[in-house]
Structure 1
């Protein structure tokens, strides 16, 4: 078929909607509602797990071996660890991120008494008071506190607001969509991946493209704490491609431009056949791309395998600078990524044996061996 026309305005609008909907792990219901409304608008059938992970099916020319594409809507955040004697809040992280990036952030506390705005500050926040000590204070979650924008003179005043231990804290994303094509925000991991999946899906529906086999669009709600796709797959799925961020940093081959195809992460190599299929599709469709290996990274693919899913997995990414901090991506990479998603959904099935979970050796794959 003709090259897919990805609607960039649609993609960016969906990303803005997602960024403006707080969804730290454990507090994702409203983001789930947002996605369900959009899937319904696109005319797609979908279903939810008990806790809110979503799976939507785009019917293919054949049912099996089904494919899945997955991104996670949950983000980093924090939780109230203690209400301190000064009325401020001690925090613990939701997900793995440094308190260095929490310092100075505006945030919302969701409590039984309603939502409260506040600022996360280092314990020694005033140079006029602490002089050079503001530069030597250690960096960790015990060295910061959340100052609520309410009249609280002490612990009892804060408790009277309804704020208490365990309350969820959402960090403001502060998104900026630049004329240069750069998008700067917190939580682009992985709301940019979710928006890209939606843009690919919208393109396929608008252009009446039919996947080769049934293709499931999955949106998970607990990837940042390692659970991800552990309970959203159906048995018919034989291969799952995760869409997430690729870290652009010294020592990495990822880029903010084009698609970065991961060959391995901290859990080990991705499926040999599926990753090479994606690389070849990028070549065939003239999609800019590069490969990378991530040492300190895991994704929805890992959680699915650890939960016992016998599936082929791969990871395709948009390059992101300052991951789990104040992140930056480029919109062109999202378009390239969406094009690769469409190409994958329309690609032929090479391993027909994958239609059944078990079978004999007939049709089993080969890998090249050096004759020398």
Structure 2
């Protein structure tokens, strides 16, 4: 199927709104309200699980109770949590999600107390943050979460001063995204992982509804809230889901093939290879739609697809993404990559399942298993080398 045009203005608007809404894992209510409102405005039916995972449903032409497909994307981000109120009036923090204190240094932050109206701003600083005081020792201080602290933008000098502000151990600390879109289309911001993915999914849904094209099977958009802490798509989908495509950042770095301005297809991540057939189906859709794409392998990476399979969902999985340079650090991507990810989603969601007849049921016979999926046998080893 042909991909659909994406509303670039809508994509930018949604992207910036999401990036400016803090959502570290464990404190995602505000961003999920935005996602839900956006989908409701488009006329999409949504449901939320007890934990707050959102599932939007786009009905298809298939028979009720038949096979469906899903796209999974996460709205939570990395962040921090207050571990200790220090005697000097500053905060010791620990990471939420996996990221280095090296890239937290210098970040502006927002501290959320249990009182939703009581917010405080601050900055993450190394313990030796004054060159005029510590001199060359600044350059030799180690890197780590025990080597930094949060300086609050308040007249506090003692632990009691911080307590009097209403702060407590366990308060969430969000790294401010500070998004910028350059005139030539680069997007510089924290938390592009995976706010840019959510924006791509919403833009794709809008394109599908604006076009009015039918879908061969029902499609679900699952927006998860714990991917950065390993939870991801553990629930929210049922046994009828035959295919799941995770949308996430693709690693742009030395030794990687992914690019910021293309859609990128993950062949393997730290949990193993993705489904051979679904992955190549997505590659075929890129080629038939002239969508620039890259194939890549990610060693230190997992997405929503991994916890979905680990929790018992029996389906094919694949991974697509927009390229992010300096992921979980000073992130950057390009609008072209986000848009092309959305375009691939429109082509995928209007195409049949990879194996329509086979995937319409959870199990089947060996004789019915798709024949072209059988790999060629390895040649017999030469038992008498040198005789030929």
| TM-score bin, normalised by smaller chain | over 0.9
- Residue number in structure 2 paired with 1:100: 102
**Candidates 87, 90, 97, aligned match of 2:89:** 87
Give per-residue Cα distances to partners, 1:232-259, cap 9 Å, x unaligned: 2122111100000001111111111211
- Residue number in structure 2 paired with 1:355: 360
- Structure 2 counterparts to residues 70-149 of structure 1, below 5 A: 70-113=72-115, 114-149=118-153
- Residue number in structure 2 paired with 1:25: 25
Over 3 Å counting, the alpha-carbon distance change for 1:213 and 1:125 in structure 2 is same
Count of residues in correspondence between the two structures: 372
- Residue number in structure 2 paired with 1:323: 327
Over 3 Å counting, the alpha-carbon distance change for 1:134 and 1:20 in structure 2 is same
CA distance in 1 between counterparts of 2:279 and 2:347 reads 14
CA distance in 2 between counterparts of 1:239 and 1:112 reads 40
Give the superposition deviation at 1:371: 6.9
- Structure 2 counterparts to residues 158-169 of structure 1, below 5 A: 158-169=162-173
Q: Which moved more, 1:276-285 or 1:361-370?
A: 361-370
CA distance in 2 between counterparts of 1:152 and 1:122 reads 18
Aligned-CA RMSD value = 1.2
CA distance in 2 between counterparts of 1:303 and 1:290 reads 24
**Alignment partner of 1:230: what SS?**
coil
* Larger Cα-atom Rg: 2
TM normalised by structure 1 equals 0.98
Q: Which moved more, 1:261-270 or 1:159-168?
A: 159-168
Q: Do the aligned residues in 1 keep the contact of 2:242 with 2:316 (CA within 8 Å)?
A: yes
Q: Which moved more, 1:227-236 or 1:184-193?
A: 227-236
Provide runs of 4+ in structure 1 moved above 3 Å.
none
Give the superposition deviation at 1:184: 0.5
Matched, 1:42 2:42: yes
- Residue number in structure 2 paired with 1:343: 347
CA distance in 2 between counterparts of 1:349 and 1:101 reads 41
Give per-residue Cα distances to partners, 1:299-339, cap 9 Å, x unaligned: 00001011111111000011110000111101111111111
**Candidates 365, 369, 372, aligned match of 2:376:** 369
**Alignment partner of 2:328: what SS?**
coil
Matched, 1:61 2:81: no
Q: Which moved more, 1:357-366 or 1:57-66?
A: 357-366
**Alignment partner of 1:74: what SS?**
coil
**Candidates 260, 265, 272, aligned match of 1:268:** 272
Stretches of structure 2 that go unaligned for 5 or more consecutive residues are 380-388
Give the superposition deviation at 1:97: 0.6
- Residue number in structure 1 paired with 2:317: 313
- Residue number in structure 2 paired with 1:246: 250
CA distance in 1 between counterparts of 2:214 and 2:41 reads 18
CA distance in 1 between counterparts of 2:253 and 2:36 reads 35
CA distance in 1 between counterparts of 2:377 and 2:73 reads 37
- Residue number in structure 2 paired with 1:152: 156
- Structure 2 counterparts to residues 209-228 of structure 1, below 5 A: 209-228=213-232
**Alignment partner of 1:304: what SS?**
helix
